[in-house]
Structure formats: structure tokens, C-alpha cells
Structure 1
Amino acid sequence: MARGPKLTKQQQRQVDRRRRVGQTPVGDDLLTGVVVTHHGHDLLIEDDVHKLHRARARRTVGRLATGDRIRWRHDDHGHVVVEQREERVNLLVRPDAYGKKKLMAANIDQVIIVTAPLPWMNPEVVERTLVAVLALPARPLILLNKADLLDKTAPADLEEIETTLALWQGLGFPVIWTSVKTGRGMDELETALAGRTSLMIGLSGVGKTSLTREITPLAGDAAIGEISAFNREGTHTTRASTLYRFADMPGGLIDAPGLRDFPLEQVPEEVLDAGFPEIAEAAAYCRFNDCRHMNEPGCAVLAAVDEGKILARRLRQYQELLKTD
């Protein structure tokens, strides 16, 4: 049987190393992996068998986000170097307070918007986030965590929370109520996570990290320690988006730093309609096809607001987002 060319000692060491960890090269001796988290220029990546490696990327690779699929190699000194970034399925970007774009995560199947009775997130922030998720596109999931605190919530606040969640659910957005303390909704959440790469976002203090550690047993072992040390996190602080794998099912969960708002830039009108389906449905009966639902005669949307079928604040937000298109 014909044999291939003889390998150098360095090439043979690389082949032997891959055999030990069960990896497969992808052209030009590159290995595949995923970005788990980053701190400045330092990366933590995951190989094909979910082993973690500290890495650096070539400048030509550009900015990387958690969830990016990459190709890497060991250099002559044994250091892990990211050589390429594969094409992204999607990328969630959020402008910061200074207008600079922050890469939150890439290749996301689902975004979990986590709220809690305290601190309760402004509904308009949730709704802007829903539109951003639909624009990716990805599946949105609204989660009310710390449901055990509802018994201690003031009646007026409780009514607002229940009414708002019922509104979103009635519009077709899935809603789950969870409590790490009582176990409520955890099985339902795990079912929603299985087989998907999900990003979890919300205000600081809503319990995202506690949820992550409850759902992913791997986040309670050496892996979480290595990731926390790499990110220089506190016990209850998430400083950078971080990908965690599940122990007994495919998929993964990305825990992101807390956010207070989700400003949007250009939003396609069809995506906006998906985020405000009650307005899109009523708009089909407007007198004019190009009705902007401001003060046009025969506007079915304004009539629906007057009749209490559409919330005035929802229409106001729709109009504001429409202007950014």
C-alpha cells in the first residue's frame, strides 16, 4: 500500500496530540473550535471535544464574539493561535452609551430575555430587545425568574407584571415563569434550551448566573472555575458573554453581562411588524396603504387604540422605531 510523505517531528507531534484529544484537522492543519469568552485580546476557546484553551487571534481575524466558530492551530511554541473565523449565521450587536458597537454573541438560535419581580425591567426595553432578536433572526423567549418573590410583591406591581406577561404571551411570544429556589419552571426551561445555542440577557440582579449554574452542571465544576478566573469575575458578576455547555444534552447557554436598555438602529418594517403583531394586523384595515398611524383619516390602528385593543405606549414605541428605519 502506498504511503504518504514522511512527517517532520513537529508535524508528527501535532498529529499525535490531535489523536489524543480526538480532534480532526480542517485543511492546512487547522482545527475547529468555538469562542467561549474573551478578556481584551485574550480568548478562551473550546475544541471539538469541549476542552478549553487559552488563545490569541491573528489581527487579520478581526473582532471575535462569544459563539464565533473559528479555526486554530498550535504555533511553534505550543501556543494556541486563532487563524480564521468562519462565516456567521447571525451576530447580536448592541450600541453602548457612547455609540460604540459591542458584539454580544454570534450564531445564536434563541435569546432568553430574563426579567424578575425585582428589579422589574421596563416593558419597552423588553419589546425593543424582542425586535432585535427577531431581526437576527432568532427565537425569543421571555422568562420571569425569581417567581417565588411574587408572593411578596405589592398588589399594584403584581398586577402590572401579570398583565404585561399575559400581553406578550397573547401576542405569541413564549413566556416561562421560573424559580431556582422552588424549582418552578426549570424543566420547561431545560426543554426550551435543548439542542439550541441560547443567549441569556437581562438586568443585573435578575438571577441569570444562578439560572446558568442550576441548568448547566458543568458550570459548577472546574470549567466554571477556569472561566471565572480567566474573566476575572466576582462570584455573582458576569463581565463578558460566556458560553456554557450542557452535561446531558446538545446545545449551550451564553450568559451575558447585565444591560439596562437595548437601543436599536435600522429596523426593517417586516421585522417591526413581527414585534408588534397587533399593530400589523390592525394596519391591514387602514384606508391608506402607506398609513403611518399618526393622524391619517381612516386609520384602523388609531381606532384600535381608542377602543383599548392596542396599548397607546405600544403604538408610540412602534412609531419611534419606524423612524429609525
Structure 2
Amino acid sequence: MAKRNKLTQRQKRQVSSNLKKRLTSSDSGPADDTLMPSQAGLVVGRFGQHADVEDEQGKVHRCNMRRNISSVVCGDQVLFRPGKDQTLTVSGVIEAVEDRKSVLTRPDYYDGIKPVAANIDQIIVVSAVVPALSLNIIDRYLVAAEDVHIEPIILLNKVDMLDEQQHKEVQEQLALYRDIGYRVLLVSCKSGQGMDELAALLKDKTSVFVGQSGVGKSSLINQLLPDAEEAIGDISDNSGLGQHTTTAAKLLRFPGGGSLIDSPGVREFSLWHLPEGRLTWGFIEFREFLGGCKFRDCKHRDDPGCLLRDAVGTGQISQQRFDSYHKILAGMAEQRPSYSKPPK
């Protein structure tokens, strides 16, 4: 079992206050006299209004949440009270959530910024040659990872479908990411290529797969964890896109150490909530030039004295990434809800 972090004094006070409060009729969960003493746990599943919490002995308890807890996601370390009657489907209550060392979030049109998974060490950006390799989509996920300060790793799946020439072309396309410091891994569930290297990268880490439907995330999980029994979706004949298969968030453990969070909330990420400056910062090779343009409000297009455009001209920034940046910027304006003011 992973070692639990000790609660801070503030968290202990919060828990103590929660334990003293009587449940009201509008509060979800069982009465206090049906609960056992508080203990530490790890959220390993999220199902609607309930969460599965694993205790330090490895037993999983399905729990309600106190009304004062704003959110609970897979990977959260919590303090909870198991139910005395273990025959009930839902018998425990989560009392408090420990501070998160990292949190993966996504924007929601109605609820603002929503957490998806917590205490993550690395984000595995999964793409594939089928339905299609899109560098722009990879760039979007990289920006999302940079925004929350979680290390991303680029994984290209289904490489067994490439012939020799296509394989060479893909390597050339992905070389630009290696050149700017990202790790890139080519894998195939069918041939086994790269799977040992992937397993080594996941060992003793808490990871999350992100990527569009159809890129083979479930197949990768089944290959890494045969007992996971992840549902695998087909590619739609009409759209050429993958079918959604994951329906509930869960944390899966590797026998040799480490865990993987699988969540339907990480299929796609919109970036409309980011200020333009934050998007620009999310392109890591841009950073050394930021703040040096002639005009403070430089749009990095045809503005005179633009250092980014000059860097493209000298080969310090790739034209592909520069074009992708502007494509994402244009898409943010289109996706932003009408009620949302443009970020400053």
C-alpha cells in the first residue's frame, strides 16, 4: 500500500469540526451511530454521488460525502468513516479531503473548472495512427498538462499498422517534440512494441491516460492489467472516430507498484477558459522569448518586433507548432460560452 500523508493541523481541525456536527435531514449518508471511527483512505472509484474508498488494509468501502466537501475525485487521499453494517451497498461517509499535490482539471460550460483526478505524477498523452495522427490535438493536451504543472509523456499507439515509409514519416513528425524536451514513446498492443518501456515509465507513479476515443487507451490498460477488463470501443464507420467506453472513474493498481487513473472526464480537453497569455506559456519552447516583443500586446502574427515570429524564421520554433498555437487560439474564441467574458 502507498504511504498516506499525515493530515495538517488545519485538516485535523476541519475533521474534528465535521465529526461534531449532527447530520441534518438534507445531508446525504447514514447517521453517526452507524459509523466506525475515522481512518485514512484513498479514493479508487467515483460513481455518480458515491465514491469507493480503499482503506490501509486494501478493503474498499462505498461512501457518501459530507455536504461541505466540494469535490472528490480518484486519487484523493481522504479521511472517512466506514459503516458498521458492511452488508449495505453504501455504508461509509467521507469526512475530509487532504490537500492535493496536483490536480487535473477541465472546464465545464455550467460548473466552471472541474477536477478530474488528483495527486497525479504524469499524464500520458495517447494518440494513434488510427483514426488519425493529429499533432494539433497532441498540442492541446500538452498545453492542458503544462497548465496544471503535471509532466506529460507522448505515446503513439497502433504503430504496427504503419509500413516502413509511414513509420519514418511519423518519427520525423514526432521528432519536434523530442527536440523541445518531451518524452515520446511508440507502442503497439498487437506486436508488443514499446510495452515494456511503457510499463517501466508507469512503475511507482500515479498516471492518467488522456486522449480521444478510439486511440486505444482501453486496449493499453488491458495489456498492462489483464484483470482490468476494460471495454474496448470500435471505430465508427460513419465518423471515423472512436466510441466512448469508460463510464466511471477508477484507480487501477499495478502489481509491481504504481497506479493508473481511468476516467471518462479525460477524453477531451477544451482550453477556452485559459487566458491567452497562459496558452502561449503552455508552448514550452515559446517561454524564453515571452516578454521580449516590441509591443506588450503583441498577437504574435504580423506585429512588428515579434520575437516568436522571428524565432520561427530562424528555426528556433517550428512552423508547425507556431501554426498549431494560432489554430488553438482561434478555436478558444469559438468554443468559449457566450456568457463567459474573454480572459484577460
Q: Deviations over 1:99-128 (max 9, x none)?
A: 654431111111111001012353223212
TM-superposed deviation, 1:169: 1.6
| Alignment of 1:266 onto 2:274 | yes
Distance change (3 Å), C-alpha of 1:259 and 1:159: farther
Match of 1:150 in 2: 162
Counterpart AA for 1:246: F
Match of 1:237 in 2: 245
Match of 1:120 in 2: 132
Distance change (3 Å), C-alpha of 1:103 and 1:288: closer
Q: Deviations over 1:137-172 (max 9, x none)?
A: 2111110011111239x95xx676434321112111
Could you tell me which of 265, 284, 287 is aligned with 1:280? 287
TM-superposed deviation, 1:261: 4.2
| Alignment of 1:68 onto 2:68 | no
Instruction: Note if contact 1:218-1:245 (Cα within 8 Å) is conserved in structure 2.
Output: no
Match of 2:213 in 1: 204
Counterpart AA for 2:309: L
3-state SS of 1:59 partner: coil
| Alignment of 1:103 onto 2:111 | no
| Alignment of 1:29 onto 2:37 | yes
Q: Deviations over 1:177-219 (max 9, x none)?
A: 1111111111111111111100111111111112112223552
In the aligned structure 2, how far is the partner of 1:29 from the partner of 1:106? 25
Match of 1:214 in 2: 223
Distance change (3 Å), C-alpha of 1:318 and 1:262: closer
Instruction: Note if contact 2:105-2:113 (Cα within 8 Å) is conserved in structure 1.
Output: yes
Q: Which runs of 5+ in 1 are unaligned?
A: 1-27, 226-234
Distance change (3 Å), C-alpha of 1:95 and 1:197: same
Match of 1:54 in 2: 62
Match of 1:81 in 2: 93
TM-superposed deviation, 1:279: 2.5
TM-superposed deviation, 1:299: 2.4
Counterpart AA for 1:244: L
| Alignment of 1:174 onto 2:179 | no
Number of residue-to-residue matches in the alignment: 281
Q: Deviations over 1:29-49 (max 9, x none)?
A: 311111112121122222223
Distance change (3 Å), C-alpha of 1:119 and 1:260: farther
TM-superposed deviation, 1:247: 0.6
Distance change (3 Å), C-alpha of 1:51 and 1:121: farther
Q: Deviations over 1:7-37 (max 9, x none)?
A: xxxxxxxxxxxxxxxxxxxxx9311111112
Could you tell me which of 255, 262, 285 is aligned with 2:262? 255
In the aligned structure 2, how far is the partner of 1:124 from the partner of 1:34? 35
Q: Which runs of 5+ in 2 are unaligned?
A: 1-35, 232-242, 334-341
TM-superposed deviation, 1:313: 0.7
Instruction: Note if contact 1:93-1:101 (Cα within 8 Å) is conserved in structure 2.
Output: yes
Match of 2:47 in 1: 39
Match of 2:326 in 1: 316
In the aligned structure 2, how far is the partner of 1:120 from the partner of 1:96? 26
Which is richer in helix?
Answer: 1
Match of 1:16 in 2: none
3-state SS of 2:163 partner: helix
Match of 2:309 in 1: 302
Instruction: Note if contact 2:210-2:268 (Cα within 8 Å) is conserved in structure 1.
Output: no
Instruction: Note if contact 2:276-2:343 (Cα within 8 Å) is conserved in structure 1.
Output: no
3-state SS of 2:271 partner: coil
Superposition pairs for residues 10-29 of structure 1, below 5 Å? 29=37
3-state SS of 1:56 partner: strand
Q: How much identity, in percent, do the aligned residues show? A: 36
Instruction: Note if contact 2:147-2:278 (Cα within 8 Å) is conserved in structure 1.
Output: no
TM-superposed deviation, 1:256: 2.5
Q: What is the TM-score normalised by the length of structure 2?
A: 0.70
TM-superposed deviation, 1:84: 1.4
Distance change (3 Å), C-alpha of 1:65 and 1:159: same
Instruction: Note if contact 2:144-2:271 (Cα within 8 Å) is conserved in structure 1.
Output: no
Instruction: Note if contact 1:287-1:298 (Cα within 8 Å) is conserved in structure 2.
Output: yes
In the aligned structure 1, how far is the partner of 2:276 from the partner of 2:305? 25
TM-superposed deviation, 1:253: 0.5
In the aligned structure 2, how far is the partner of 1:98 from the partner of 1:236? 22
Match of 1:20 in 2: none
TM-superposed deviation, 1:264: 4.3
In the aligned structure 2, how far is the partner of 1:179 from the partner of 1:203? 17
